[in-house]
Amino acid sequence: MNGFERQQVAPRYANAPRNVAFELLNEPHDALNGEPWNALLAAVLGVVRQSNPTRIVVVGPTHWNSLKDLPVRSHDQLAIAAYPERADPRDVLVSEVATRVRELPRGAHVLTGSLRRQAQLLALRPDLEMVPVRGNVETRLRKRRESGAEATVLAAAGLARLGLVDEPAHPLEADELLPAPGQGTLAVQTRRGEAEALCAALDHPPTRAAAMAERAIVAAFGGDCTLPLAAWAREVEGRLVLTALLAAVDGSEVVRGEVASSDPGAVATACVVSMRDSGADALLDRIHSAVRSARAAR
């Protein structure tokens, strides 16, 4: 296991018998019916099995993927067995010239590959110039430095997990930039059955409740990483508060919903109803049409 995985796993099994060992196997593994591992399990852990009474073997990749990259619908033999405690769900503004979006110079260039971030940034600051960027976190940071762009926006949890603590990163609160559904959350995906039970000790119930509410928003609007959709659930005074947002790519239209409930199962349903009453479905049609037109023009 790498250092981050040990931090997540070790505390949950601190009271396990001394003769219980954990091992992460890195070999490629076809988990179900010969389907390719990476295509099947875009997740943190693959198959967990107990090979003898004193040895638990975890078979999977050596890195943990974010829940926001995991499809809402997956193979029926797979389950999300655990949601470890969530890291910081916020985005950060990486910039030497501003600590908040409102402080950026007029016409500032902002690197982002996310339509969710682009839409919200333009809703706040229509004068900003969005510069498309692809690649991993290090690549995006390097491109910001090389291009001379005033800023880029990244996930706080991603920077922290990579140990990139020296960057000029400034957390953005939800009133500036609402996070992606599942941002900062990891998911332990396993085969159903014994594997699911073995990983249950990693679960953090408040994180699970928030994750399920946010993923229900994604399911309701058919969202994926290409849709300007945001959702953030958190516990406040014993109730689950869910805020969700759908925005036009150019920031010209925003539909927002916010619901609080003591019933986590009801909060997402109520939030979706609120958004639909405010025109979310019509906006969604316009977003899809705009995206199709943009692709056709390339």
Q: Is position 144 annotated as part of the catalytic site?
A: no
Q: Is position 69 annotated as part of the catalytic site?
A: yes
User: Rounded distance, CA 212 to CA 90, Å?
Assistant: 18
User: Rounded distance, CA 188 to CA 43, Å?
Assistant: 7
User: Rounded distance, CA 215 to CA 222, Å?
Assistant: 10
User: Rounded distance, CA 251 to CA 249, Å?
Assistant: 6
Q: Are 199 and 84 in contact (CB under 8 A)?
A: no
User: Rounded distance, CA 274 to CA 279, Å?
Assistant: 9
**Considering 73, 134, 295, 298, which one is annotated as catalytic?**
134
Q: Please, is 110 exposed, middle or buried when counting C-beta atoms within 10 Å of its C-beta (0-12, 13-18, 19+)?
A: buried
Q: Which residues contact 229 (CB under 8 A, 6 or more apart)?
A: 116, 180, 181, 217, 218, 221, 223, 244, 245, 246
SS3 content of the chain, % helix, strand, coil (to 5): 35, 25, 40
Q: Please, is 50 exposed, middle or buried when counting C-beta atoms within 10 Å of its C-beta (0-12, 13-18, 19+)?
A: middle
**Considering 30, 69, 277, 285, which one is annotated as catalytic?**
69
**Considering 116, 144, 191, 215, which one is annotated as catalytic?**
116
What is the pairing mode between strands 47-52 and 229-236?
Answer: unpaired
**Residue whose C-alpha is closest to residue 35's, from 74, 80, 81, 71:** 74
**Considering 127, 225, 277, 285, which one is annotated as catalytic?**
225
**Considering 90, 140, 144, 161, which one is annotated as catalytic?**
140
Phi/psi of residue 17, nearest 5 degrees: -55, 150
Q: Is position 140 annotated as part of the catalytic site?
A: yes
**Considering 86, 90, 117, 208, which one is annotated as catalytic?**
117
Q: Is position 6 annotated as part of the catalytic site?
A: no
Q: Is position 116 annotated as part of the catalytic site?
A: yes
Catalytic positions are: 68-69, 116-117, 134, 140, 225
